[in-house]
Amino acid sequence: VALDNLRDRRRKDQKLNEFLRVTEENSICRRLQLKDQLVTGMLRLTKYPLLFENLAKYTPETNDKERAAVLRALERSKEILSLVNQAVREAEDCQRLSEILRMIDRSAFDKFDHPTVQEFKNLDITKRTLIFEGPLQWRNVNRPKPVDLHVVLLDDTILLLHRQDERYLLKFMNTNQVNSVLSPIVRVSTILVRNNAVDKNSLYLVNTSQKGAQIYDLVASSPAECKLWCKHISEAAEAYNRKSREGRRPSSPQHSAEEPTVVAETTVPDKAEKQEKTESIQEETSKEAEPTEPFLYGADGRSQEEQQRIKEEPRSSGEAQKSSPEQANRELEPEDEPKAEGSDGTNPAMRLVTCTQCSLIEPNEVHADVRPVLLAEPVLTPIEKLRRKDEVIKEALIEKQTIVAEILNIPREDFEHVADMADVAAEQESIEKEPTELILAAINQTNQLIGMINSALVVTEGDAVLAGKGSGEVAGCSSVACPAPRAHVLGQPAVPVATLQPVCHSLNQQLSQLL
């Protein structure tokens, strides 16, 4: 801030500028200007950690006391430097927020009829913390050109300011939809940031406010800047939500610790009443079950003696529980459900259910059957391999012609005709040729040369059979009736020189003209 003010004063006041220039030429200033002298205090702080590091490096380890003091001084100097840097950064951020507040024009925002206007009527950004700021573009599908914005990220809000000369306009953004505008102020607590999968330079800001969801499509200048914005916005939202959660925590946990004791005292008489009710229900069900049970075995397959013994066990346990209330509290809970089942009269017999859990086996005892899988590999003869390679080369030449036709803006179906015309024109030395014609003729002749070489490397089945029998020659006469077979000499794949010479000569001539 001081350097900016000094630069402005020197530009406006010529006398001050001349005085400073003469003074800075003095030998006492050591050829340093005033702007260099202002930061001397900061530079000295940065040199102290380096000094103590060198002292610690050359301090003998045998002198433990002195070495510990030097290391302690090194840690303290780093802490002081960090605090000073933090204070300077906060002061610069505060000054920057004051500048932004002075440059904001919120007249259009205050005149608009929207609930957000009343919510942020007395917004003072100087009381906030500046996290990040920079230029972004707002992209709207209904507008042919994106809108330039200056986005300011604070600890609790995000400002989307329109850039106009040296001022920032705070106004609502119209989306060309009925009753749909985007607010220029968004709370960090209700914001979600997402990357655009189609455009690496853009991101989506989703405002999940209760007043209505809003989506902002913002475009950065590069993918790195877009990732930086996503990182800062996500971290600011997490920090704000974490701070709000910590603020809602109860201050004194003493009340919650006392509540369980009160509940434990009130639950004892409730369990005793429940025990008396269950005993009365058991006596009634036993009286009703004795004269009306016509079968020898109950519903669960047990005899009457076993059922009677099961019925008497809760009675004896109930009598024992009357003498010991604490034991009653422990034993009453697992017996409540089976006693209540017989109270409806549908199944007066008590049931004893035993649940057993299957034991787990060791992992090495698991055996999985893997069926054999057979893979069929194609077996190709050398002739077939050669034929397929020939097809690949032809397809590559066709693709090459297509690419060249697109580059030279020639229709694909007319490429060969135009190339032949360029080839014929290139052979006429008297006519001055364009570089495009020379390139097209050279490409055509190169393709012809590749085609000749490819055709010469074709081997027929007859040649393969002769090569398999060997290269020995059998003597024979020239007469037709001679029974001895004639000798067949297997020729090597080659391109006739008479065919290659015109193409190579023309290609060399065209390349020479291009150079």
Q: Which residues lie across from 412 on neighbouring strands?
A: none
81 within some domain: yes
125 within some domain: yes
Q: List the one residue out of 4, 26, 5, 23 whose CA is nearest residue 15.
A: 23
Asked if 388 and 451 sit in the same domain, the reply is yes
Coil, strand or helix: which one is 474? coil
Maximum mean pLDDT: which of 77-91, 261-275, 367-381:
77-91
Q: How many CB atoms lie within 10 A of CB 441?
A: 26
Structural domain count of the chain: 3
Asked if 24 and 136 sit in the same domain, the reply is no
Asked if 226 and 198 sit in the same domain, the reply is yes
406 within some domain: yes
Rounded Cα distance between 389 and 59, Å, is: 74
> What local confidence, expressed as pLDDT, does residue 403 receive?
83
Rounded Cα distance between 438 and 444, Å, is: 10
> What local confidence, expressed as pLDDT, does residue 420 receive?
67
Q: Where are the alpha helices (DSSP H) in 104-114?
A: 107-111
Do the Cβ atoms of 484 and 477 come closer than 8 Å? yes
> What local confidence, expressed as pLDDT, does residue 224 receive?
92
Rounded Cα distance between 74 and 54, Å, is: 10
38-77 burial, b at 16+ Cβ within 10 Å, e below that, comes to eeeeeeeeeebbeebeebbeebeeeeeeeeeebeebbeeb
Rounded Cα distance between 347 and 339, Å, is: 11
CA dihedral 213, 217, 222, 228 (to 10 degrees): -10
Instruction: Give the sign of the dihedral formed by CA 504, CA 507, CA 509, CA 515.
Output: negative
Do the Cβ atoms of 131 and 153 come closer than 8 Å? yes
Containing domain of residue 452, as a range? 382-459+495-514
Tokens of 337: 């459900």
Do the Cβ atoms of 152 and 176 come closer than 8 Å? no
397 within some domain: yes
pTM: 0.43
Pairing of β 157-164 and β 130-138? unpaired
The pLDDT tens digits of the residues spanning 208-260 come to 887 777 888 899 999 999 999 999 999 998 998 888 887 765 544 444 443 34
Q: Which residues lie across from 218 on neighbouring strands?
A: 138, 203
Least confident of 174-178, 257-261, 271-275: 257-261
- Over its C-alpha atoms, the chain yields an Rg (Å, rounded) of 48
Tokens of 101: 């507040």
Amino acid at the residue 509 = Q
Coil, strand or helix: which one is 411? coil
Which CATH number belongs to the domain containing residue 52 in this structure?
Answer: 1.20.900.10
Do the Cβ atoms of 222 and 247 come closer than 8 Å? no
> What local confidence, expressed as pLDDT, does residue 486 receive?
53
Which CATH number belongs to the domain containing residue 209 in this structure?
Answer: 2.30.29.30
Maximum mean pLDDT: which of 38-42, 211-215, 489-493:
211-215
Domain boundary at 210, 243, 276, which? Answer: 243
316 within some domain: no
299 within some domain: no
100 within some domain: no
Assign 32 a pLDDT band (cuts: 50, 70, 90): confident
Which burial class, exposed, middle or buried, applies to 308 when counting CB atoms under 10 A from its CB (0-12, 13-18, 19+)? middle
Q: List the one residue out of 313, 322, 136 whose CA is nearest residue 221.
A: 136
The pLDDT tens digits of the residues spanning 385-401 come to 878 887 888 888 788 87
Asked if 117 and 189 sit in the same domain, the reply is yes
292 within some domain: no
In this prediction, residues 491-506 reach a mean pLDDT of: 72
Rounded Cα distance between 256 and 314, Å, is: 37
Amino acid at the residue 35 = K
> What local confidence, expressed as pLDDT, does residue 351 receive?
66
Least confident of 119-133, 218-232, 443-457, 473-487: 473-487
Maximum mean pLDDT: which of 83-87, 351-355, 410-414:
83-87
Amino acid at the residue 370 = V
Task: Look at residue 349 and tell me whether its pLDDT is greater than 70.
Answer: no
Asked if 157 and 88 sit in the same domain, the reply is no
Q: How many CB atoms lie within 10 A of CB 393?
A: 15
Domain boundary at 212, 243, 274, which? Answer: 243
Least confident of 3-12, 45-54, 436-445, 469-478: 469-478
The pLDDT tens digits of the residues spanning 93-116 come to 898 898 888 898 888 888 888 888
Asked if 133 and 223 sit in the same domain, the reply is yes
Pairing of β 167-169 and β 104-105? parallel
Assign 178 a pLDDT band (cuts: 50, 70, 90): low
Q: List the one residue out of 406, 388, 392 whose CA is nearest residue 443.
A: 406
Asked if 135 and 69 sit in the same domain, the reply is no
DSSP state of 486: P
Asked if 226 and 150 sit in the same domain, the reply is yes
Task: Look at residue 419 and tell me whether its pLDDT is greater than 50.
Answer: yes
Q: How many CB atoms lie within 10 A of CB 130?
A: 20
Specify the higher pLDDT residue, 277 or 495: 495
Asked if 213 and 116 sit in the same domain, the reply is yes
Q: List the one residue out of 332, 323, 324, 321 whose CA is nearest residue 267.
A: 332
Asked if 23 and 132 sit in the same domain, the reply is no
Domain boundary at 29, 60, 95, which? Answer: 95
Task: Look at residue 482 and tell me whether its pLDDT is greater than 50.
Answer: yes
